[in-house]
Amino acid sequence: MSLFSPLKLPNGAVIPNRIAKAAMEENMADNDHAPSGELLRLYQAWADGESGLIITGNVMVDARAMTGPGGVVLEDDRYLDRFKAWAAVGRSHGAQVWMQINHPGRQMPAALGQQTLAPSVVAVDIGALSKQFPVPRQMTFADIAEVERRFVETAMLAERAGFTGVEVHAAHGYLLSQFLSPLTNRRQDRWGGSLENRARLLLDIVRAIRAAVTPGFAVAVKLNSADFQRGGFSPEDAQAVVTMLGTLGVDLVELSGGSYEAPAMMGSARDERTLAREAYFLDFARDIAKVATMPLMVTGGIRRREIAEKVVDSGVAMAGIATALAIEPGLPRNWRSGRADVPALRPIAWKNKQLASTAHMAAVKYQLTRLSRRQGTTPNVSPTWALVLSQLGTRCRARRYRRWIETRTAAA
Q: Is the pLDDT of residue 203 over 50?
A: yes
List C-alpha distances in Å: 114 to 68, 221, 401, 403.
Answer: 11, 27, 11, 12
Indicate the domain borders of the chain: 7-411
Sign of the four-CA dihedral 15, 166, 68, 197: negative
pLDDT of residue 277: 53
Residue 227 has a pLDDT of 67
Which residues make Cβ contacts (< 8 Å) with residue 376, sequence separation at least 6? 370
**pLDDT given for residue 276 in this prediction:** 44
* Domain 7-411 indexed as CATH 3.40.1080.10: no
Taking residue 323's Cβ as centre, other Cβ atoms within 10 Å add up to: 24
271 pLDDT above the threshold of 60: no
330 alpha-carbon distance from chain centroid: 21
Q: What is the pLDDT of residues 94-124, one digit of tens each?
A: 999 999 999 999 999 999 999 999 999 999 9
Confidence of residue 268 (pLDDT cuts 50, 70, 90): very low
For the cut 50, the answer to whether the pLDDT of residue 261 exceeds it is yes
Helices and strands, counts by H and E, the chain: 13, 14
**Residue 285's pLDDT is what?**
85
Convert the pLDDT of each residue in 337-375 to its tens digit. Answer: 999 999 999 999 898 877 888 899 999 999 999 999 999
The structure's pTM equals: 0.94
Task: Report the DSSP beta bridge partners of residue 101.
Answer: 59, 168
C-alpha–C-alpha distance, residues 360 and 294, integer Å: 32
Residues in the chain: 412
Of the ranges 50-59, 169-178, 260-269, 350-359, which one carries the lowest mean pLDDT score?
260-269
pLDDT band at 23 (very low <50, low <70, confident <90, very high): very high
| 275: confidence class by pLDDT, cuts 50, 70, 90 | very low
156 neighbors 150 (Cβ within 8 angstroms): no
Amino acid letter, 163: F
Helix 383-411 and helix 353-372: axis angle, to 10°? 80
Contact 242, 206 (CB under 8 A): no
Q: Are strands 117-118 and 296-299 parallel, antiparallel or unpaired?
A: unpaired
Backbone angles phi, psi at 228, to 5 degrees: 60, 35
What integer pLDDT is reported at residue 128 of this predicted model? 81
Spatial distance between the Cα atoms of 325 and 21, rounded to a whole number of angstroms: 7
Q: What is the mean pLDDT of the chain?
A: 92
Query: Which residues have C-beta within 8 Å of that of residue 54, sequence separation ≥ 6?
Result: 20, 21, 43, 46, 47, 90, 95, 96, 97, 98
Report d(CA 390, CA 250) in Å as an integer: 36
pLDDT of residue 323: 95
- The closest alpha carbon to 95, from 149, 54, 59, belongs to 54
